[in-house]
Amino acid sequence: MRPFCDKLRAVTLREFFLENFAGDLEYHPRRAILYLALSAAALCFWIFSSPEIKFRTTPLVFGLGSLTLLLKGIFLLRKSSEGLGLTQSDFDDLSATSSRKSLPSIPNQAAQIVQDFGTGPLLLWPLLNVGKDIDHTWINPPRVPIFLTGAFLFSLGWFIRRLTSAPPEHS
């Protein structure tokens, strides 16, 4: 049990949300393409579901999850402003291989994708009320199951990221 406790550290609520929602939004076009492809696949699952099951829990989770993957993919495509106001030598130092951030491990990245996918149903479930207002025949949208599925996926991704992340360096 001790190795697991070494990987956990006390964080404030602000640090928790910043790390989980915006901590890895630096410019990375390859990851962006992966996020956009997964978003398209999840959206296709919802679009091509048969009409009688399209508005049940599983297809709606995929539809809402695709929105957050799309948004994250767009953010990963934008260039950051790291190099603004730097001289040419500072800019060259910034792009040197020794100062580049290393990417997390593949299990850690997969867990991040699961967490980002789960963010959709977790945060966007109120959009189901808009769908209910548009289509009055949709009497009982599955709000609670979608919210719980999103919370489960987000928590699963968070837990796996904590287990696969590098241990904090002690100085």
Measured between its terminal Cα atoms, the distance across the chain in Å is 23
Q: List, for residues 21-44, the tens digit of each pLDDT value.
A: 665 667 778 888 999 999 999 999
Give CA torsion, residues 85, 87, 91, 93, to 10 deg.
Answer: -130
CB atoms within 10 A of CB 101: 8
Close Cβ partners of 9 (under 8 Å, ≥ 6 residues apart): 168
Q: List, for residues 62-96, the tens digit of each pLDDT value.
A: 999 999 999 999 888 877 655 555 566 766 665 66
* Confidence (pLDDT) at 155: 94
* Confidence (pLDDT) at 26: 72
pLDDT of residue 129 exceeding 70, the answer is yes
Is residue 71 included in any domain, yes or no?
Answer: yes
Is residue 7 included in any domain, yes or no?
Answer: no
Q: Is 65 left (phi over 0), alpha (psi -120 to 50) or beta?
A: alpha
Three-state helix/strand/coil letters over 27-93: CCHHHHHHHHHHHHHHHHHHHCCCCCCCCCHHHHHHHHHHHHHHHHHHHHHCCCCCCCCCCHHHHHH
Is residue 141 included in any domain, yes or no?
Answer: yes
Is residue 91 included in any domain, yes or no?
Answer: no
Is residue 8 included in any domain, yes or no?
Answer: no
Q: Average the pLDDT over 42-66 and give the result.
A: 92
Q: Structural domain of residue 66, as residue ranges?
A: 26-80+102-164
Q: Give the total number of structural domains in the chain.
A: 1
* Confidence (pLDDT) at 18: 60
Is residue 85 included in any domain, yes or no?
Answer: no
Q: List, for residues 132-169, the tens digit of each pLDDT value.
A: 777 777 788 899 999 999 999 999 999 998 898 766 65
Q: At what angle are helices 106-124 and 143-164 packed, to 10 degrees? A: 160
Is residue 6 included in any domain, yes or no?
Answer: no
Return d(Cα 82, Cα 63) in angstroms, integer: 34
Return d(Cα 42, Cα 69) in angstroms, integer: 9
Is residue 37 included in any domain, yes or no?
Answer: yes
Return d(Cα 109, Cα 20) in angstroms, integer: 12
